Amino acid sequence: MSTASTPASNFIRTIIDADLATGRHRSIVTRFPPEPNGYLHVGHAKSICLNFGLAEDYQGKCNLRFDDTNPEKESFEYAESIQEDVRWLGFQWDGDVKWASDYFEALYSFAVELINKGLAYVEDLSADEMRQYRGTLTEPGKNSPYRDRSISENLDLFARMRAGEFADGARVLRAKIDMASPNINLRDPAIYRIRRAHHIRTHDAWCIYPMYDYTHCISDALEGITHSICTLEFEDHRPLYDWVLDNVSVECHPRQYEFSRLELHYTITSKRKLLQLVNEKHVSGWDDPRMPTIQGMRRRGYTASGLREFAKRIGVSKSENSVDMAIMEGAIREDLEPCAPRVMAIINPLKVTISNFDGAQAREADFHPNAPELGKRVVPFGRELYIEADDFAEVPPAGWKRLTLGGEVRLRHSYVMRCDEVVKDASGHVVELKCSIDHATLGKNPEGRKVKGVIHFLSCEHAIPAEIRLYDRLFTVARPDADREVDFCNYLNPDSLKVVQGWVEVAVQDAAPETHYQFERLGYFCTDRRDHRPKDRLVFNRTVTLKDSWTKEQA
């Protein structure tokens, strides 16, 4: 599926343009390298759009490679969801899915090569002792007493590590670089550790696993990656990336480039914290429509093209990428506006009885005023109607254009209606309106007067019951995890989900899961991809409101 549009210029494209112009590369190869230890979130969506988008725009290739070097936290469930997310966003990786575990034997051989060159050694210090030896940001580290082991001893110990002779954590293999380096990442980092954990692909074949910084750069080299793009937290790791590739026998030396990660207001993008929300039942799961996961956003009704547009709008740079939720919601709104059929739904019904119903007629209406290809449907009319309770006021505020006692409104796609009487229950609550229609106003304006207000309605007889889930922002503050002294869960929005029994037009009763609609005057909604069943159980998720009301409410 092509997602081509006019690409926005950024520093990475400038680098690629220069590399192609000078002949440094004939074509580009990028990669998207997630760890299968959770579901992807909106930050990953930005990275997917960047890496796959560059490959598409430059007629290159993009690999999907799983970083499966931490077996205790990884699963095929996560790997399969990641593949689904990439495809849903509109992209396809080159060739087969790749895995870091495809290279385990090669990675082991390169580690042996480093040992033979005197550039790696087996460490006996404990993790705590290694931290003490490492030094601080202002003080250099000091050499391990095991740093000068002979090559033969290191080869023997490393082979015995692989053979399973030592307990988990008893030894690690470290690169021998510089314990006095101002970059702590170069102070003899661990490149292998002992861990007896069942691996999703290699099962129990290995009890030692390579570390990410060591694995990642070699995997890039073996795949011929030209531009290894990652987020800014890896900038200080780039010297280690280059050191490894400079000292092992690989033909390709990719270059790493860093861009700022996405920080989206009113949510979080930490896998660990997202998992906490799931485990503590603050949400229904990874695909809860309030979650910033790609699965959650998809279930809420966000569109792939809208998310790609959002990624384009926020751009790629090295400066802080702190983005208000309204920008993403705006991209989704604009994507849905020209293509989502418009229908009427009632969320908070107030009954209306038409006293002069006899002779009233149904009327045909377009699904979208600017998209005739979406077709038409019949809007039924009945003696008893539902309107939104909020569309009536006994004591209307200044500028009120909706219904009030003695006032008139236009019913959408139907008649002008006048409220003649208000019926209340014993508590004084309005429970019904007695109204009359002007039979001469079906499809035309009334004569001799202007009616400014338009409200939507449903015929009670024809309305279909539906579960309507009103989703809002998951947190009440823009940066819920900014204060490390406060649990981010304290800022969860208690009103992030309200479930109501509503009513919808009969025209939507056959809608398949993941069908989008604009409920006129209420917002954009999508049939739930998990719980919705056509004709049997209608479930609609509010994707986004028609306007950005949140910013005004918080002001």
Query: Quick check: is 4 in a domain?
Result: no
Tokens encoding 360: 């009233």
Task: Determine the pLDDT at residue 448.
Answer: 87
Task: Determine the pLDDT at residue 12.
Answer: 96
Instruction: Identify whether residues 244 and 176 lie together within a single domain.
Output: no
Task: Determine the pLDDT at residue 99.
Answer: 98
Q: Give the domain CATH number at 150.
A: 3.90.800.10
Query: Quick check: is 479 in a domain?
Result: no
Helix then strand then coil, % of the chain, to nearest 5: 30, 25, 45
Q: Give the domain range for residue 410.
A: 347-462
- Percent of the chain beyond pLDDT 70? 97
Q: 501: which strand partners?
A: 467
Task: Determine the pLDDT at residue 22.
Answer: 97
Query: Quick check: is 443 in a domain?
Result: yes
Q: In the predicted model, is pLDDT for residue 548 greater than 90?
A: no
Which among 335, 336, 314, 311 has a CA at the least distance from the CA of 323?
314
Instruction: Identify whether residues 399 and 454 lie together within a single domain.
Output: yes
CA separation for the pair 449, 88 (Å, rounded): 52
Task: Determine the pLDDT at residue 6.
Answer: 58
Q: In the predicted model, is pLDDT for residue 551 greater than 80?
A: no
Helix (H, G, I), strand (E, B), or coil: what is residue 389?
helix
By the 10 Å C-beta count (0-12 exposed, 13-18 middle, 19+ buried), 78 is classed as buried
Q: In the predicted model, is pLDDT for residue 553 greater than 50?
A: no
Q: Which of 166, 181, 212 is the last residue of a domain?
A: 212
Instruction: Identify whether residues 222 and 311 lie together within a single domain.
Output: yes
Tokens encoding 194: 């002992």
Q: In the predicted model, is pLDDT for residue 158 greater than 60?
A: yes
Distance of CA 484 to the CA centre of its chain: 24
pLDDT bin (cut points 50, 70, 90) of residue 9 is: confident
Tokens encoding 414: 């139907």
Mean pLDDT over 349-372 rounds to: 96
Which among 350, 316, 509 has a CA at the least distance from the CA of 419?
350
318 is catalytic: no
Instruction: Identify whether residues 83 and 191 lie together within a single domain.
Output: no
Instruction: Identify whether residues 389 and 263 lie together within a single domain.
Output: no
Instruction: Identify whether residues 207 and 239 lie together within a single domain.
Output: no
Check: CB of residue 66 under 8 Å from CB of residue 99.
yes
Query: Quick check: is 500 in a domain?
Result: no
Mean pLDDT over 239-247 rounds to: 98
Tokens encoding 430: 């309005």
- Percent of the chain beyond pLDDT 90? 95
pLDDT bin (cut points 50, 70, 90) of residue 400 is: very high
Task: Give the number of domains in the chain.
Answer: 3
pLDDT bin (cut points 50, 70, 90) of residue 549 is: low
Helix (H, G, I), strand (E, B), or coil: what is residue 352?
strand
Instruction: Identify whether residues 90 and 223 lie together within a single domain.
Output: yes
Q: Report pLDDT digits (tens) over 223-240.
A: 999 999 999 999 999 999
Mean per-residue pLDDT of the chain: 95
Check: CB of residue 467 under 8 Å from CB of residue 537.
yes
Q: Report pLDDT digits (tens) over 460-471.
A: 999 999 999 999
Mean pLDDT over 340-361 rounds to: 97
Query: Quick check: is 55 in a domain?
Result: yes
35 is catalytic: yes
CA separation for the pair 264, 474 (Å, rounded): 12
CA separation for the pair 259, 234 (Å, rounded): 9
Q: Which of 286, 301, 331 is the last residue of a domain?
A: 331
Q: Give the domain CATH number at 412.
A: 2.40.240.10
Query: Quick check: is 181 in a domain?
Result: yes
Provide the angle, in degrees to the nearest 10, between the axes of the packed helices 238-246 and 212-222: 60
271 is catalytic: yes
Residue type, 520: E
pLDDT bin (cut points 50, 70, 90) of residue 320 is: confident
Question: What single DSSP character describes residue 232?
Answer: G
pLDDT bin (cut points 50, 70, 90) of residue 512 is: very high
Query: Quick check: is 250 in a domain?
Result: yes
Q: In the predicted model, is pLDDT for residue 352 greater than 90?
A: yes
Q: In the predicted model, is pLDDT for residue 555 greater than 60?
A: no
Instruction: Identify whether residues 293 and 207 lie together within a single domain.
Output: no
Q: Give the domain CATH number at 21.
A: 3.40.50.620
Mean pLDDT over 254-267 rounds to: 96
CA dihedral sign, ordered 42, 47, 48, 49 = positive
pLDDT bin (cut points 50, 70, 90) of residue 2 is: very low
Q: Report pLDDT digits (tens) over 18-54.
A: 999 999 999 999 999 999 999 999 999 999 999 999 9
CA distances to 173, 258, 364, 415 from 249, rounded to whole Å, are: 19, 25, 73, 80
Query: Quick check: is 310 in a domain?
Result: yes
CA separation for the pair 205, 459 (Å, rounded): 66
250: how many CB neighbours lie within 10 A of its CB? 18
Tokens encoding 153: 């001893």
Q: Report pLDDT digits (tens) over 376-399.
A: 999 999 999 999 999 999 999 999
Q: Report pLDDT digits (tens) over 92-128.
A: 999 999 999 999 999 999 999 999 999 999 999 999 9
Which residue of the set 31, 35, 333, 529 is catalytic?
A: 35
Instruction: Identify whether residues 168 and 30 lie together within a single domain.
Output: no
Instruction: Identify whether residues 324 and 386 lie together within a single domain.
Output: no
CA distances to 123, 137, 142, 192, 513 from 129, rounded to whole Å, are: 11, 17, 11, 17, 56
Mean pLDDT over 271-291 rounds to: 96
Instruction: Identify whether residues 290 and 322 lie together within a single domain.
Output: yes
pLDDT bin (cut points 50, 70, 90) of residue 5 is: low
Which residue of the set 65, 98, 271, 312 is catalytic?
A: 271
Task: Determine the pLDDT at residue 83.
Answer: 98
Q: In the predicted model, is pLDDT for residue 1 greater than 50?
A: no
Q: In the predicted model, is pLDDT for residue 550 greater than 60?
A: no
Q: Which of 462, 488, 510 is the last residue of a domain?
A: 462
Instruction: Identify whether residues 162 and 203 lie together within a single domain.
Output: yes
Which residue of the set 134, 162, 261, 412 is catalytic?
A: 261
